Structures are given as C-alpha cells and as structure tokens.
Amino acid sequence: MPLLGVERKRMGKFRPQIFFAIVCATVFAVFAAWVGYKMDAIEILTGILGAFFGFLAGVSSKILESE
C-alpha cells in the first residue's frame, strides 16, 4: 500500500555469489595494496584501486541491468 502516494520499490533478492565476489575482491585488493605499500610501489596501488572500482562498477551495472 503506498504511503502518501509514494510507491516503494523492492531492491531485488539477495544474491550470495555477488556478495562473496565483492568480499573476495575486497580482501584481495587490500592484500595487494599492502604488498604494494611495503614495496613502495605507488603504481601498484593506483592500478589496484582502479581495478577494484572498475570491478564494483561492473557488478553494479550488471545488477541494475538484470532488475
């Protein structure tokens, strides 16, 4: 039932494989960033951050596309 004329949208169902992919990517990115930091290699850190945010953008766009 709409509340004051505003209809609520459902976010969709929870997908555990997407959740675990995001968690695994986060853990890997943190570990790789730590290794890059210990090596004083700023290009590794920049590449990891770019790849991580690109991965999250790709996952987000696929989720929005499928709903």
Phi-psi bin for 4: left (phi > 0), alpha (psi -120 to 50), beta? left
How far is Cα 58 from Cα 52, in angstroms, rounded to an integer?
10
pLDDT, position 67:
65
Tens digits of residue pLDDT in 28-52:
888 988 988 899 988 888 888 888 8
pLDDT, position 32:
87
